[in-house]
Amino acid sequence: MVQKKEKRPRGRPRAYDPETALARATDAFWRAGFSGTSLDDLSAAMDMNRPSLYGAFGDKRALYLAAMDRYIERGRQGMRAALDEAVPLADGLRRVYELALAMYFPQGDVALGCFLVGTAATESVADDEVRRKLGEGLRTFDRAFEMRLRAAQRQGELDADADPVALARLASAILHTLALRSRAGDSPASLRATAEAGIRLICGRPPEKRTRRQS
């Protein structure tokens, strides 16, 4: 009796870690943008051949959209932890900006800036889905700031007549400035000074000064 040889699947087996592979793809897109990142670049970065890459993530565009989702979700989680209501508002904002700068300036590497601002802003001109995800991502960060600002208002850290929605957009605008200027060559020290000026503007007078004035 002749034994039939078991057919081996073509391409690389699906023995990979999806999170690691997606993180590597994100890094590749982050450095060169969507258009500047080839399938060969992605295959090398993810240590996956093309058939396995397609089988796991779909085409290049689908992989990029998944990278956007990953970046936005990780950003949301990081902001939620940094803006813990147990931490004073100014310190929470400072923690968010420090987390951002750590991402924008990888240790021992060139400044990358923000993944969304640096890549999706360009692609959104011609791709409706990228534009939609970009808008959702920015609004996600706005809402994270707004929730903390409303809590600060309830706790007396902000004046009662402060506008949490407008201040949240201002807090996000500081993030965008840090992202753009990091890629433009500004130093981390100068960007920290910018963030500190923004924090003072958002928080206004220290709580003790507000209390004395109102008493």
Q: Which letter does DSSP use for residue 118 in this model?
A: I
* Tens digits of residue pLDDT in 34-76: 999 999 999 999 999 999 898 899 999 999 999 999 999 999 9
Largest Cα separation within the chain, whole Å, is 98
Percent of the chain with pLDDT over 70: 87
Give domain limits for the chain.
69-203
Q: Residue with structure tokens 């508002």?
A: 89
CATH topology classification for 69-203: Tetracycline Repressor; domain 2 (1.10.357)
Q: Is the pLDDT of residue 173 over 90?
A: yes
Q: Provide the residue type at 1 as one letter.
A: M
Mean pLDDT for 64-90 is 96
**Taking the alpha carbons of 37, 35, 53, 69 in that order, is the dihedral positive or negative?**
positive
- φ/ψ region of 15 (left if φ > 0, alpha if ψ in -120 to 50, else beta) reads beta
